[in-house]
């Protein structure tokens, strides 16, 4: 069969047309779909764009509003800043006014207090009957109490004004604690309390810090402990931990067996003007400032203060401070270096916490020590030692047993003793038996409580050395030991003889202060002249040479600063400089610096204590005088 070419061609053409139409249809449909979707997207974009535009417009409006608000705030802040600046200036002015007021108030209060306390002291040194002495003593004590309160208020204000500064010096921790015990011992004795001091082994004795402020913290805590305790003891415990760069952290605990503090009050007692119980406030008195001041001072010394307490059982206040290691002052200690190791000691004391402290001191020195808490146990211990051919070398009595009993036991031991037992006594400073009583009872030495290791061991070394050498020594007292520690051997000279060549000028505008100083100084043997202001002082100093000038600071006509500057100008180029000691009622920070900057050599605050005057005389006039001590 043959194929027709035309029909094949037509069939091809049809086929092509068919595919052409199909493809075109496909593309047209595709184009329509794309167009449709494109149009839809464009519409959507358009709508989105529209809403974005609206959004943007709204935000722009909002931004404008915020900017306006901001502008308003800026204006407000600027005006508040202005107000704050004004308030700051006003507050600074008020703070200055408060400081000035405090400085003035301190001066105004201290000046009459100086008269009251000084004159009362002089009165107490005169013959008085018992009743008069009692009244004068009340005036003195009330005055001292008032002064404590004023000092607290002043200190707190100083701290608040940021004017409290620490004055670090090299100091002896034992002397600081001994001064604390001197202040409170009378009160502890009146209340029948034991005052104890315990040094944990390794506690350094010489440190660099502000001993005055440290003493203030301890005194606040010990004062409270005594105030809130009626039975038992007040114990000061010290421990130390070395830190980097020759620093040392000291830890103090002041433990009492008093009324304790309720648990819910423990957190508040350090707040200013806070007392644990309203009722205790009335019963015990106080300002509620002591602990607040102590907390501030501890913080200044890079430490913390806290308390634990059991109601009805007692409290333990604890604090730590950071100090630097110090060095002992050069001394010529004459206490014999006698080895106490293995020496046998019997402590006779019925108050166990106190006996334990003395016991630890003995153990640290390598001695063999036992405690007898009663007369029977004492006699038993002595008998046992005798039977074992290992007798005690020392018997150390504590007057907690009762003074009479101690003297009686000592006499009893002496009668039976064949080994030369050395007997000594630890006694409350105000209850020391007479020399005759002690000598009769064969007591060879005594020390004041609380007993410090160096004193107790020093006494034992002196007595043991004397016994070994077969020397008889007079009763070894605290005073004997202190002298030996200072390397003094000269015969005693009274202070009166000591200052007899001392010519002193007292410059003060207040007659009562002039009188008081003149009396104190003439009693010490000095020759005294008086001047009522700087001008009078200068004219006297132009004619006479003074060993020392006590200069008040605030005086009419010419004050102490101006007078001192004039003296120093006159002395320019000369070898000799007159010693000028400021004697002032100003106690705010910076006053000491002001005095020293004006050319003064030293500074004593009014109201002063007799010992301060003696110390200053010894310090500045001592070299030319004989070093001496009264008994």
Question: Count of alpha carbons within 13 Å of 280, Cβ hemisphere only?
Answer: 18
Binding mask 267-296 for ligand ADP (x = CB under 6 A): --x----xxxx--xx----xxxxxxx----
Selected from 228, 252, 319, 397, the binder of ligand ADP by CB under 6 A is: 228
Task: Tell me whether residue 113 or residue 259 sits nearer to ligand ADP (CB atom).
Answer: 259
User: In the complex with ligand ADP, which residue's Cβ is closer, 274 or 411?
Assistant: 274
273: alpha, beta or left? (left if phi > 0; alpha if psi -120 to 50): left
3-state DSSP assignment of residue 590: coil
Residue 184 found at the interface with ligand ADP (CB under 6 A): no
The reply to whether 378 sits near ligand ADP by the rule CB under 6 A is no
Q: Would you say 112 or 288 has its CB closer to ligand ADP?
A: 288
DSSP H or E segment with residue 169 = strand 169-172
Q: Which of 200, 179, 183 is CA-nearest to residue 252?
A: 200
Asked if 613 interacts with ligand ADP (CB under 6 A), we say no
Minimum CB distance to ligand ADP smaller for 286 or for 622: 286
Least distance in angstroms from the C-beta of 629 to ligand ADP:
36
Nearer residue to ligand ADP within complex by CB, 287 or 412: 287
Q: For the chain, report the end-to-end CA distance as a whole number of angstroms.
A: 165
CB 305 within 8 A of CB 216: no
Nearest-CB residue for ligand ADP: 286
The least distance separating ligand ADP from the CB of residue 224, rounded to whole angstroms, comes to 3
Q: How far apart are CA 527 and CA 236, in angstroms?
A: 43
Residues 304-333 that bind ligand ADP (CB under 6 A): 315
* 298 lines the binding site for ligand ADP (CB under 6 A): no
Stretch that binds ligand ADP, among 29-37, 47-55, 219-227, 521-529 (CB under 6 A): 219-227
Binding-site size, ligand ADP (CB under 6 A)? 23
Binder among 253, 255, 256, 320 for ligand ADP (CB under 6 A): 256
Instruction: State the angle between helix axes of 375-387 and 403-416 in degrees (0 to 180), rounded to the nearest 10.
Output: 20
Helix segments in 417-488, DSSP class H = 435-440, 453-469, 478-486
Q: What Rg do the C-alpha atoms of the chain give, in angstroms?
A: 42
Task: State the greatest distance between any 2 C-alpha atoms of the chain, in Å, as a whole number.
Answer: 174
Q: Which CB atom, from 265 or from 500, has the smaller least distance to ligand ADP? A: 265
- Does position 349 interact with ligand ADP (CB under 6 A)? The reply is no
> How far is Cα of residue 306 from the mean position of the Cα atoms in its chain?
15
Residue number with CB closer to ligand ADP (259 or 348) = 259
Q: Which stretch binds ligand ADP (CB under 6 A): 53-61, 224-232, 489-497, 577-585?
A: 224-232
Rounded Cα distance between 395 and 378, Å, is: 9
E-assigned strand segments in 313-427: 314-325, 344-348, 368-372, 394-398, 422-427
Q: Find the helix packing angle between 534-543 and 560-571, rounded to 10°.
A: 30
Q: Are 114 and 516 in contact (CB under 8 A)?
A: yes
Q: Of the two residues 226 and 524, which places its CB atom closer to ligand ADP in the complex?
A: 226
Residues 6+ positions from 292 with CB-CB distance below 8 Å: 156, 270, 271, 272, 273, 274
612 interacts with ligand ADP by CB under 6 A: no
CB atoms within 10 A of CB 228: 22
Applying CB under 6 A, does 257 fall inside the site for ligand ADP?
Answer: no
To ligand ADP, the closest distance from the beta carbon of 473 in angstroms equals: 42
Q: Give the one residue of 225, 343, 422, 598 binding ligand ADP; rule: CB under 6 A.
A: 225
Minimal distance, residue 261 CB to ligand ADP, in Å: 5
303 binds ligand ADP (CB under 6 A): no
Nearer to ligand ADP, 155 or 399 (CB): 155
Name the nearest CA neighbour of 152 among 216, 228, 104: 216
**Is 196 one of the binding residues for ligand ADP (CB under 6 A)?**
no
User: Does residue number 499 form part of the binding site for ligand ADP (CB under 6 A)?
Assistant: no
**What 3-state class would DSSP assign to 354?**
helix
In the complex with ligand ADP, the residue whose CB is nearer, 258 or 326, is: 258
Binding site for ligand ADP (CB under 6 A): 220, 224-225, 228, 256, 258-259, 261, 269, 274-277, 280-281, 286-292, 315
């Amino acid at each position: 069969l043959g194929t027709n070419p035309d029909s094949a061609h037509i069939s091809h053409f049809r086929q092509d047309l068919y595919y052409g139409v199909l493809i075109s249809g496909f593309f047209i449909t595709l184009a329509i779909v794309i167009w449709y979707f494109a149009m839809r997207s464009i519409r959507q974009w358009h709508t989105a764009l529209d809403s974005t535009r609206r959004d943007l417009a709204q935000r722009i409006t909002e931004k404008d509003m915020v900017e306006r608000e901001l502008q308003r705030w800026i204006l407000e802040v600027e005006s508040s800043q202005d107000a704050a600046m004004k308030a700051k200036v006003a507050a600074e002015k008020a703070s200055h006014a408060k400081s000035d007021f405090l400085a003035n108030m301190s001066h105004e209060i201290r000046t009459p207090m100086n008269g009251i306390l000084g004159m009362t002291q002089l009165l107490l040194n005169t013959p008085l009957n018992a009743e008069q002495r009692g009244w004068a003593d009340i005036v003195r004590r009330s005055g001292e109490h008032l002064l404590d309160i004023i000092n607290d208020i002043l200190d707190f204000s100083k701290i608040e004004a940021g004017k409290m500064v620490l004055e670090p010096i090299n100091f002896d921790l034992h002397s600081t604690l001994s001064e604390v015990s001197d202040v409170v011992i009378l009160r502890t004795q009146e209340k029948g309390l034991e005052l104890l001091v315990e040094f944990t082994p390794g506690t350094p004795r010489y440190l660099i810090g502000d001993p005055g402020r440290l003493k203030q913290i301890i005194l606040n805590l010990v004062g409270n402990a005594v105030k809130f305790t009626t039975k038992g003891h007040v114990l000061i415990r010290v421990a130390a931990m070395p830190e980097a760069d020759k620093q040392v952290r000291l830890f103090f605990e002041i433990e009492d067996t008093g009324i304790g503090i309720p648990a819910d009050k423990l957190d508040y007692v350090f707040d200013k003007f806070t007392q644990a119980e309203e009722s205790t406030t009335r019963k015990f008195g106080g300002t509620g400032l002591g602990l607040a001041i102590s907390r501030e001072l501890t913080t200044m010394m890079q430490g913390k203060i806290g308390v634990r307490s059991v109601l009805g059982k007692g409290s333990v206040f604890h604090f730590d401070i950071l100090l630097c290691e110090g060095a002992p002052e050069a001394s010529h200690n004459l206490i014999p270096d006698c080895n106490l190791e293995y020496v046998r000691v019997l402590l006779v004391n019925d108050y166990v916490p106190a006996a334990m402290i003395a016991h630890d001191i003995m153990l640290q020195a390598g001695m063999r020590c036992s405690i007898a808490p009663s007369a029977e146990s004492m006699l038993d211990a002595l008998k046992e030692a005798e039977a074992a051919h290992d007798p005690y070398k020392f018997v150390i009595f504590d007057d907690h047993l009762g003074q009479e009993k101690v003297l009686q036991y000592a006499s009893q031991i002496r009668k039976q003793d064949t080994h030369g037992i050395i007997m000594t006594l630890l006694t409350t400073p105000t209850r020391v038996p007479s020399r005759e009583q002690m000598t009769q009872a064969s007591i060879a030495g005594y020390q004041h409580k609380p007993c410090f290791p160096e004193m107790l061991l020093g006494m034992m070394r002196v007595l043991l050395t004397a016994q070994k050498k077969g020397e008889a020594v007079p009763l070894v007292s605290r005073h004997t030991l202190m002298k030996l520690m200072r390397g003094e051997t000269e015969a005693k000279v009274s202070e009166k003889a000591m200052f007899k060549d001392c010519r002193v000028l007292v410059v003060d505008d207040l007659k009562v202060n002039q009188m008081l100083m003149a009396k104190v100084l003439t009693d010490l043997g000095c020759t005294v002249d008086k001047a009522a202001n700087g001008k009078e002082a200068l004219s006297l100093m132009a004619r006479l040479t003074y060993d020392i000038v006590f200069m008040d600071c605030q005086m009419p006509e010419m004050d102490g600063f101006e007078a001192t500057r004039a003296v120093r100008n006159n002395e320019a180029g000369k070898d000799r400089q007159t010693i000028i000691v400021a004697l002032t009622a100003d106690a705010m920070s910076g006053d000491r610096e002001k005095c020293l900057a004006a050319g003064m050599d030293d500074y004593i605050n009014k109201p002063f204590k007799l010992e301060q005057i003696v110390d200053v005389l010894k310090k500045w006039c001592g070299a030319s005088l004989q070093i001496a001590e009264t008994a």
